Structure 1
Amino acid sequence: MAQRPFPDPVEFARLKLVERVRGVFNDVSSGETPVPPSDDALFAKDTPIRMVHADVVSMMVGGMAALLLQMLHPHALRGVLDFSNFREDMHGRLRRTARFIAVTTYGNSDDAETAIARVNRIHSGVNGTLPDGTPYSATNPQTLAWVHVTEALMFLEAWLVHVQPDMPVAEQDEYFRQFAVIARKLGADPVPETKAEAQAVFRAMRKDLRAGPEAREIAELILEGKSPGAVGAIQPLLATAAVSLLPPFARTMLGLEAPGLAALPSKLLTSGLGGTLRWAFKQKV
């Protein structure tokens, strides 16, 4: 009787790694499966937004940095505090955000539009008042602009630091033009279309930022709250990398120390982990 071929141990390890990563970003218990890439997505294959958003590690690092910056905006912070279960289920919130990015970047354009419409419906019910009596709403175009700009800048910066430092400026600008498509559909305004425009919007909106105990509490949860499974094991590494991306003024406002000597080993390990996952998912830079 012919013997069954012995499985390739390298390929077996690759597939197990892919399975574990997909399990982190999909709610397997509810039957959720990875978003299948579509030829009818909002963005064409091999374009900057699809390359940047495909890198698991740099997206986690950039996403954490973006959240830290978003919590400095009083309206964004209050929306999280009043309408989110972020404190109780941080991982679930982050997983849902990651899925939204996956659907709008890679999914069928109809599915992307459905996901955007759903977020807009949710935002329409998120409103209230700040402690000083100022009204806030998740549909405020400028609040949405801050959320968008911080995400775009930090996702791209993490990619530049950990994956492709020599990414041409033209491709970086194309990334902002592509991401602007989603931002406009969500109601953000202003929406930058180049890196220089994004940096200008970021500087202009700095005057709207505030720091306080609640922003620091959420920042501590983002950086130190334990996620389940493999993500929890590498969270300190990702946290150090995320804090390294923040501008000095933001670290000061959030009461965070600059990583100092810890930045180099964190960068080396984060970049190495990212390379391993790109190998596992057969991604090319």
Structure 2
Amino acid sequence: MAALTEPLRARLQYTFNGQYTGTPQWITDLEKGDDEGFFLPGSAVWAVHGAMSTIAAGVRALLVQALHPGALAGVHDHSRFREDPLGRLAGTIRWIYTVTYGSRDAATQASNWVSRLHTRVVGQYDDRHGVRHDYAANDPELLSWVHMAFADSFLAAFQEWGSGEIPGGPDAYVREWAVAGELMGVPNPPRTAAEMQSQLMDFDRRGILERTDRTADVVRFIRRPPLFPVLRLGYPLLFNGAVATLQPRFRELLDLRPPHVGPVPLPASGPAGATLRGIGAVLGPRPVAESHARARLERLGWASV
């Protein structure tokens, strides 16, 4: 069985962390550090980010981000997402896992590094009315949108496909992950799920969110990214599942619908869940990063490991 699954494992691992074999240095480095980190075993963040549902959440978060023309312009003008989409994905995963599982010092350093990269992400875009706007990746409002796009997507995906309950419930996850927003410079990130939904929809109420030709182009790319052939069969199921969990208004803005035949909707959650379980069977049910974080905690004498 291992001989049959190893090629798939290698390609999945490369997709998520940029290496076909072995454990990346940044993951083993999670054992280092002299403090427990911002989050611990039993936290809402460990529960949500340790689940396979984060894979579908990543697809969903990219779709949500694409609704903000400033965020979209930054990706379009400064990111190598077309030339190296897997590299960009691996970089995002590295930051999320370092903040989730690393020491406070490692999480802070990783966030500062991303913020320094963002200082170069500036420019202008024209909205649907032809009005020109400045954008900057480190603008507090844009940082807030990106933070909530991820948090909302992680939460929605776990509620759809995660196993078990979130310790403390959805509000605990939003409250805990607000720390990550603060590390990135988000002013007063939401502390409850309801507050997060209100702030997300407020972007639409203020007329900021829109769908342009550039949006449609990015959505087409997210729908059919240049994956390894062996991964292309399951990806549409994850994409459809991610679309089905979007707020109806966001689906409307993105001009996306869950899978259907004429007026008849097709299952989306079940096939996506089966795909996630299959990935978990190949890679393991929990992130490797978690075991290295536990090794640091054990070294520090954390009693509940």
TM-score of the superposition, structure 1-length normalised?
A: 0.84
Which residue of the other structure, out of 87, 92, 117, is the alignment partner of 2:87? 92
Task: State how far apart, in whole Å, the 2-side matches of 1:154 and 1:145 are.
Answer: 14
Q: Does structure 2 retain, via aligned residues, the 8 Å contact 1:55–1:274?
A: no
Task: State how far apart, in whole Å, the 1-side matches of 2:140 and 2:287 are.
Answer: 38
Identify, as 1 or 2, the structure richer in helix.
1
SS in 1 for 2:123: strand
Unpaired segments of 5 or more residues in structure 1?
A: 1-8
Q: Does 1:46 align with 2:51?
A: no
- CA 113–65 in structure 1, closer or farther in 2 if over 3 Å, else same: same
1:148 counterpart letter in structure 2: H
Task: State how far apart, in whole Å, the 1-side matches of 2:268 and 2:239 are.
Answer: 10
Equivalent residues in 2 for 1:204-283, closer than 5 Å: 204-207=202-205, 208-228=208-228, 231-259=231-259, 260-270=265-275, 272-273=277-278, 276=281, 280-281=285-286
Deviations 1:54-80 (A, max 9, x none): 123x11111111110111101101101
Task: State how far apart, in whole Å, the 2-side matches of 1:268 and 1:28 are.
Answer: 25
Question: Pairwise CA RMSD of aligned residues?
Answer: 2.9
Task: State how far apart, in whole Å, the 2-side matches of 1:246 and 1:264 are.
Answer: 12
How many residues are aligned here? 273
1:173 Cα offset (Å) = 1.3
Task: State how far apart, in whole Å, the 1-side matches of 2:80 and 2:6 are.
Answer: 33
2:36 counterpart letter in structure 1: D
SS in 1 for 2:190: coil
Task: State how far apart, in whole Å, the 1-side matches of 2:228 and 2:20 are.
Answer: 14
Deviations 1:109-156 (A, max 9, x none): 222111101111011111111123211111111111111111111101
Equivalent residues in 2 for 1:66-77, closer than 5 Å: 66-77=61-72
- CA 113–71 in structure 1, closer or farther in 2 if over 3 Å, else same: same
Give 1:32's aligned residue: 24
1:270 Cα offset (Å) = 3.4
Which residue of the other structure, out of 80, 103, 109, is the alignment partner of 1:108? 103
Which residue of the other structure, out of 108, 112, 116, is the alignment partner of 1:117? 112
Unpaired segments of 5 or more residues in structure 2?
A: 260-264, 291-305
Q: Does structure 2 retain, via aligned residues, the 8 Å contact 1:141–1:190?
A: no
1:190 Cα offset (Å) = 4.1
Q: Does structure 2 retain, via aligned residues, the 8 Å contact 1:223–1:239?
A: yes
Give 1:157's aligned residue: 156
Query: How high is the sequence identity, in percent, across the aligned residues?
Result: 31
Deviations 1:215-262 (A, max 9, x none): 111111112123236544421111111111112222222222222214
Between 20-29 and 181-190, report the one with greater CA deviation.
Answer: 20-29
1:26 Cα offset (Å) = 2.1
Task: State how far apart, in whole Å, the 2-side matches of 1:71 and 1:189 are.
Answer: 21
- CA 29–206 in structure 1, closer or farther in 2 if over 3 Å, else same: same
1:161 counterpart letter in structure 2: E
Give 2:178's aligned residue: 180
- CA 84–166 in structure 1, closer or farther in 2 if over 3 Å, else same: same
1:257 counterpart letter in structure 2: R
SS in 2 for 1:25: helix
